[in-house]
Amino acid sequence: MTTEMQIDSYLTALRHHLGPLTIAEREEIAREIGAHVRDSAEQSGTSTETVLARLGPAKDLAAQYRDGLLISQASRSLSPLVLMRATLRLATKGAFGVLVFFVGVFGYLTGGSLVLSGLIKPIFPANTGLWVIRYGRSVRIASSGVLFPPPAPPAHEVLGMWYILLTLTLGSLTLLLTTWAIRRSLRLSQRWQSKL
Amino acid sequence: MAKLRIPATEADSSDPWEAQLRKGAVEMAALASLWQGRLYGLEIIRFLDSRSQMALAEGTIYPILSRLKAEGMLTSEWVEADAGHPRKYYSLTEAGRERLHQMAEAWVSFSRGLTQLLEPVLEQQELPQ
């Protein structure tokens, strides 16, 4: 196999494994790596094969590009889908990533559920709320959320329409806090592991 | 002075702590290599090798440069060279220069404190109780 064929073969594999990136990004990366291989072989007097071996498998090099760009873009995104996709990738890298992923799942599910129940309250007012049971002077929370059928007496709903304000506020704060925590964690992970 | 080799893969490193320490410094080192002016990837690798004893695996630097560019720390341009093919040169942006300055200050302050702490260890003395 000639030198150019070896380089082309490596770059073809690299482009293939860079799949999720745009065509322009893939071509830019392939062009730069191609220039590096030619320069490195020429300047150090080593064979193209040796330079390609030093670069490592095209699949691993592509994974470094993909992970770096995915996490970098996600750390500036507000989209829960983009953020959770990046945390899922981070979760494959170690315990910190797994923790961030579960914090994300818990935070978005909790915040989303709170907001959703607040939006459902005007539609099913009798089935949505916070029910308590009084035992003399003490009060115990019997249930909360959207329930079909609603809890039977002596449990009674106490918040009324204040439930909407409370759940929308708490839900929004939980979603914001989760987004902030994930973005912060992704940035930290970039500094700790520049080669994720 | 021993060279700080950045492993090509995690498995290449004998000490995970040392590997993490080095990886954490690569981003700052890459930015610092461009402080004096534009360089292309291979020049950055050689510059770091000769000036900081940081021997980077060849595949390590390019994804980092790509990410730093995506974050607005670097700009790049293709320049025709005598080699017969163009080379991609990187330069620091204003945001990159500011970020590097912050990193340098934090690094110097942190390492000064640690050096004081480690002096007795290196001199084989007992740390004060």
Asked whether the beta carbons of residue A194 and residue B27 sit closer than 8 angstroms, the reply is yes
Distance CA A4, CA A13 (A): 14
Contacts of B9 in chain A (CB under 8 A): 56, 60
> Residue B70 has which token pair?
């995506």
Please list, in sequence order, all residues whose beta carbon lies within 8 angstroms of the beta carbon of residue A75, skipping any fewer than 6 positions away.
A86, A183, A186, A187, A190
Could you tell me if A130 and A34 lie in one domain? no
Numbered residues of chain B with Cβ closer than 8 Å to any chain A Cβ: 6, 8-9, 20, 23-24, 26-27, 40-42, 57-60, 62-64, 66-67, 70-71, 78, 83, 85-88
The DSSP secondary structure of A98-163, one letter per residue, reads HHHHHHHHHHHHHHHHHHHHHHHTTTSTTTEEEEEEEETTEEEEEEEEE-SSPPPTT-EE--TTHH
Could you tell me if A98 and A2 lie in one domain? no
**Could you tell me the residue range of the domain that residue A191 belongs to?**
79-196
- Check if the beta carbon of residue B68 is closer than 8 Å to that of residue A191: no
A19 three-class SS: coil
> Residue B110 has which token pair?
């942190």
Q: Is the peptide bond before A149 cis (omega within 30 degrees of 0)?
A: yes
Q: What is the mean pLDDT of residues B67-93?
A: 90
Does pLDDT of B9 surpass 60? no
Chain B residue with CA closest to A32: the answer is: B88
Last residue of some domain: A74, A90, A122?
A74
pLDDT band with cut points at 50, 70 and 90 for residue B127 = low
The ranges assigned to domains in chain B are 4-104
Q: What is the pLDDT of residues A121-153, one digit of tens each?
A: 888 888 888 898 888 788 888 788 888 888 788
Chain-centre distance of CA B70, in angstroms?
18
Could you tell me if A99 and A138 lie in one domain? yes
Contacts of A45 in chain B (CB under 8 A): none
Last residue of some domain: A47, A74, A101?
A74
Contacts of B40 in chain A (CB under 8 A): 35, 39
Identity of the amino acid at B75: T
* CATH domain B4-104 topology: Arc Repressor Mutant, subunit A (1.10.10)
Could you tell me if A50 and A115 lie in one domain? no
Last residue of some domain: A14, A43, A74?
A74
Identity of the amino acid at B19: A
Domain count, chain A: 2
pLDDT band with cut points at 50, 70 and 90 for residue A195 = very low
Question: What is the pTM for the complete model shown?
Answer: 0.68
Chain A residue with CA closest to B88: the answer is: A32
